[in-house]
Amino acid sequence: MTKKYFGTDGIRGTINSKHINGDMFFKFGLASGTYFRSQKKIKQTAIIAKDTRLSGYTLEPALVSGLASAGMHVYTFGPMPTNGLAMLTKTMKANMGIMITASHNPHNDNGLKLFGPDGMKLSDKIEKKIEKLIDKKISKNLSSPEKLGRVKRLESGTKEYLKILKKNFPKEFNLRGLRIVIDCANGAGYKAGPELLRSLGAKVITIGVNPNGTNINKNCGSTYPNKIKIAVKKYKAHLGISLDGDADRIIMSDEVGNIIDGDQIIAAIATRWKNKKMLKGGVIGTLMSNYGLEKFFETNKIRFIRANVGDRYVKEQMQKNNFNLGGEQSGHIILGKFATTGDGLLVALEVLFAIRKGKKASSFFNKFKKTPQILENILVKDKSIINKPDVKKSIKKAKKLMNGNGRILVRASGTESKIRVMGESENKKLLEKCLNIILAKIK
């Protein structure tokens, strides 16, 4: 289903570009507000949170104006993790939640993620309906003066979110005696992350908690996990936690400085949940999940299904198969028992709960040996290059040369102007040769 504005995870792009500007965000607000208002024909509620990008100050007022113009009452929360917004959409019985963020992208990008009243990301079908409304004449969707929405700022968002997180664990659960490094990527979790860990009694070493509008994800956060690795060793910490710009991803470090990606975190949680009889059905991964993870689950008799890339597609497959665990190598992990979307802090709590009685992080993680994987992210002007005959031919040639000795995946990023070329094989020379055939046609 081809979409005009929405990608694999909302709408995203460079600030003040074609789609990411005040004019378009007014239209996004008006269109999404009109769609949800049409479900009940009465005034409804939208809630908005954001990450720490400077551009949020230009986009949020435009979005609010569009929503209020559609007759939606609007509450704004300021910086807060994406899953906090999703959780509050549900608990406040709001009709929609909108997160203004470009996740792990640099500060010059921004975008939005939309959630329905159930705290779930919107389906392709609903996104298509909203896209049709975006392209309609503005005057057709504007409310009459007496039906305009009201707008209010709430300061309680982070506090309420942390309450919900802690309710998922026993009252006596605490982190006293644990030293934890947390890198908040100068993003949406910069307040919530340290506050959560300290409230449970941990000694916290912080990185990336001084956002200035342009330093979000800059040499910090889940895309630069070496920061926590170094800090864990320096401060002799028990665990390192690295979030991305909107705190829905997590990459970790054990106490000896091993970087733990999403696949290793999923393997560890799945093993624990299976042993505790908490695992429901099996695990959903994605096309990018390491083949070593698949083999690990096969050996341990845990069902494993691959979904398209994007935590929304992971969640859809979790619902379809009635599974309660899924996620991505990048650190988007959905604990279906507790959440509707990825949540770095929730995953961190689940890991900390598992090691609370003195178990070392290194013995909790590292469940399987990764199949060697190479991932190349190629910046392109036009992502449709992936459909060119010579590129298609090179992919076919590379796969034939691989001849069952590994796996190759070529896909356009749903969130950036990049083509992602990934390969896995125990034969590294063959893998490099195959990938170079493809890269020569794209670069």
Q: How far apart are CA 255 and CA 258, in angstroms?
A: 8
**Within a 13 Å sphere around the CA of 324, how many CA atoms are in the beta-carbon half?**
12
User: Would you say 81 and 222 are in contact if contact means Cβ atoms under 8 Å apart?
Assistant: no
Beta bridge partners of 401: none
Instruction: Give kind and range of the element (H or E) at residue 420.
Output: strand 418-425
144 is catalytic: no
Catalytic residue among 65, 103, 330, 425: 103
Q: Which long-range contacts (CB under 8 A, 24 or more apart) does 259-262 make?
A: 259/225, 259/226, 259/229, 260/361, 260/365, 260/366, 261/329, 261/330, 261/331, 262/327, 262/328, 262/329, 262/330, 262/331, 262/332, 262/333
List the alpha helices (DSSP H) in 245-379: 262-275, 291-299, 311-321, 344-354, 361-364
Q: How far apart are CA 139 and CA 144, in angstroms?
A: 10
> Beta-carbon neighbour count of residue 298 at 10 Å?
11
Angle between the N-to-C axes of helices 157-167 and 344-354, in degrees from 0 to 180, rounded to the nearest 10? 30
User: If we measure between CA atoms, which residue out of 407, 423, 414, 405 comes closest to residue 386?
Assistant: 414
Beta bridge partners of 326: 284, 334
> Catalytic residues, which ones?
103
